[in-house]
Amino acid sequence: MADIKGGLFQWRTDEFETGCYGEGISRPRHNARVRDYTVLIRMPQAKPIKWFTRAESKRAAEKYARNRWPQAIAVEVAS
C-alpha cells in the first residue's frame, strides 16, 4: 500500500490560527493576585464573544484573550 501522510485527517491547521494555552500564557499563574474582567472578542464573520476571566490587569486580560483567539479582529476589555 502507498504511504499516505495525513490521509486520515484532511483538515488544515495553520500555526497562526491555533491558540497558545498554558499558565501565564492564556491564564494567570497559580497564586497570582487577580481581578475579574469581562473581555469582548470580535471574530471574523461571527458574533462577538463575551468572555469572563480572571487576570492580574487589563493588559494581561487582553494578552490572554489574544493568545486564546489569535485570529480575532478586535479584543476589548470591558471591565
Q: What is the pLDDT of residue 64?
A: 92
In the chain, which residue ranges form alpha helices assigned H by DSSP?
Answer: 58-68
Domain range annotation of the chain = 15-77
Q: On the CB side of 53, how many CA atoms lie within 13 Å of its CA?
A: 25
Cell numbers that stand for 64 in this block: 490572554
Closest CA to 65 of 25, 35, 33: 25
Query: What are the backbone dihedrals phi and psi of residue 77, each rounded to the nearest 5 degrees, phi first?
Result: -90, 115
pTM: 0.74
Which tens digit of pLDDT belongs to each residue from 27-59? 888 899 999 999 999 999 999 999 999 999 999
Q: Where are the beta strands (DSSP E) in 1-79?
A: 35-42, 49-55, 74-77
